Structure 1
Amino acid sequence: MDSYSRHRFPFAIVGFDLDGTLLDTSGDLAAAVNHALGSIGRPPLSVDAVKPMIGGGARAMLRHGLDATGGHDDATLDVLHRRLLDHYEANLAVHTAPFPGALDALDELAVRGVTMGIMTNKLERFARAILGGLGLADRFAAIIGGDTLGVAKPSPIPIQALVNQCGGGRAAFIGDSIFDVQAARAAGLPIVACRFGFLSQPVEELGADAIIDDYAGLIPTLERLSPSAT
């Protein structure tokens, strides 16, 4: 990659959602949900059933799981939320791995001089532990969780903080949920949606500026995407 090509790359910063975007965490999240459900005699859910429940944070995911298996009340949700978090913290990366091609895309962005960050609705300590365990934490100048600033997506505040922590400049965000699209738009960033993510609706309905089928398409898509797409 020559210096002219690097100079022409339209974004100084690229931010990523974690679950369903950079990492396939569905197996471990489903196991945590099923641990909580099983503790009160509820039937387990398949990984595919849990995937659309991911993205709004652990409590929302659990609430969806309870509703899918018989309903919930707030007191039960409070108790099971703690059980879910404890189980997940002890089993963060049993099945979790980057999506195919994700690491190559990170390498290519780094070659272009792009600064990268993570903004996830997952608790920050979980995100850091998973990325650290996979040897990826050092690739990111910012790792912001849903609890870091006391507000999560779809608020734009955490994405704005990501851009600031990455040094400021033209930025784009990559995600897989309506929360990602709403937060990026409110922050004034172009948003790329992942067709392979944990979708709760057809990806075309999210309203993203662009869609990728896999990570091979990320760099060309960003090169075509105007920083002022929003």
Structure 2
Amino acid sequence: MTPAPTLAFDLDGTLVDTAPDLTAALNHALAMLGRPPVPPESVRTMVGQGARRLLERGLAATGPEEAVPALIEAGLAHFLAHYRANIAARSRPFPGADDALDWLAARGIGLAICTNKPEALTHALLEALGWHGRFAAILGADSRPWKKPDPRHLLDTIAAAGGAAATSAYVGDSPTDAATAAAAAVPFIFVTHGYCEAAPATLSAQARIDHFSELAAALEKVQPAFSAAAKGPLR
């Protein structure tokens, strides 16, 4: 039996605009370490490789001192505590994301999350947004011994959702997402509204969308397995 088409999504910067809460948590951690804050617009280009990497980038941007492991560990504890307590204070789905997920589910397309956010925080965010139960599989940075850009992270996510790489696609917003999809030989759809620190034109993507209303056409373009399912208007 051929697996149903599966669409995996990155989370931060792809489905949900989490930058305001990540900025608040980062600047709280930096303040606890005696560092100045990072402007919100700068944080948007630092997100994508997990909390530790975000903190490392924040430390690098706010002081000449070496970000020694002890400093990173102390800051990470402050960051995670603040973020857990305020995980959806200002985070909201990007325009059209809710409608797109409804449209996909109504057509029997399997939905999954492949993110470098820790799994517990991912579940907490989805619960806070009322998205609990929307996804057949949710794999975070600590769900396996590997994480993006290792292709096994994406391939395991698709398999956990009951899908197969040959009938799947991945939606993301960063070079990490693009590299993961390419290594997994899974078609990649790049969303331009996210937290990409690189020039979008430099990313390898089979399709690009500016709004989720364009997702149906992108799916038909990049993955033949979606052609039968992805019918009907998506607004």
Q: Deviations over 1:86-118 (max 9, x none)?
A: 111111110011000001111111122101000
Q: Which amino acid aligns with 2:159?
A: N
Q: Deviations over 1:40-65 (max 9, x none)?
A: 22111121110110000000001000
Tell me the residue number matched to 1:5: none
Asked whether the 8 Å contact 2:111–2:137 carries over to 1, the reply is yes
Of 130-139 and 70-79, deviating more is 70-79
Rounded to whole Å, the distance in 1 between the matches of 2:145 and 2:129 is 26
Q: Which amino acid aligns with 2:169?
A: A
Tell me the residue number matched to 1:76: 71
**CA shift in 2, pair 1:46/1:106, >3 Å:** same
Rounded to whole Å, the distance in 2 between the matches of 1:146 and 1:101 is 26
**CA shift in 2, pair 1:159/1:227, >3 Å:** farther
Rounded to whole Å, the distance in 1 between the matches of 2:224 and 2:43 is 34
Q: Which amino acid aligns with 1:98?
A: P
Tell me the residue number matched to 1:219: 216
Asked whether the 8 Å contact 1:189–1:227 carries over to 2, the reply is no
Aligned-pair identity (%):
43
- In structure 2, list runs of 5 or more residues that go unmatched: 226-235
2:158 equivalent to 1:163: yes
Rounded to whole Å, the distance in 2 between the matches of 1:158 and 1:222 is 21
Q: Which amino acid aligns with 2:102?
A: D
- Of 18, 31, 39, which residue of structure 2 is paired with 1:25? 18
2:45 equivalent to 1:57: no
**Post-superposition shift, 1:150?**
2.0
Q: TM-score, normalization: structure 2? A: 0.90
How many residues end up aligned between the 2 structures? 218
| CA RMSD across the alignment | 1.3
Q: Deviations over 1:165-185 (max 9, x none)?
A: 111231000001111111111
Tell me the residue number matched to 1:7: none
2:142 equivalent to 1:147: yes
Asked whether the 8 Å contact 1:18–1:119 carries over to 2, the reply is yes
Rounded to whole Å, the distance in 2 between the matches of 1:29 and 1:96 is 9
2:205 equivalent to 1:208: yes
Rounded to whole Å, the distance in 2 between the matches of 1:117 and 1:227 is 19
Q: Deviations over 1:13-45 (max 9, x none)?
A: 000000000000000000010001011221111
2:171 equivalent to 1:174: yes
Tell me the residue number matched to 2:230: none
- In structure 1, list runs of 5 or more residues that go unmatched: 1-10
Q: Which amino acid aligns with 1:17?
A: D
Rounded to whole Å, the distance in 1 between the matches of 2:153 and 2:122 is 14
Rounded to whole Å, the distance in 1 between the matches of 2:41 and 2:208 is 21
SS in structure 2 of the partner of residue 53 of structure 1:
coil
SS in structure 2 of the partner of residue 172 of structure 1:
strand
Rounded to whole Å, the distance in 2 between the matches of 1:12 and 1:221 is 14
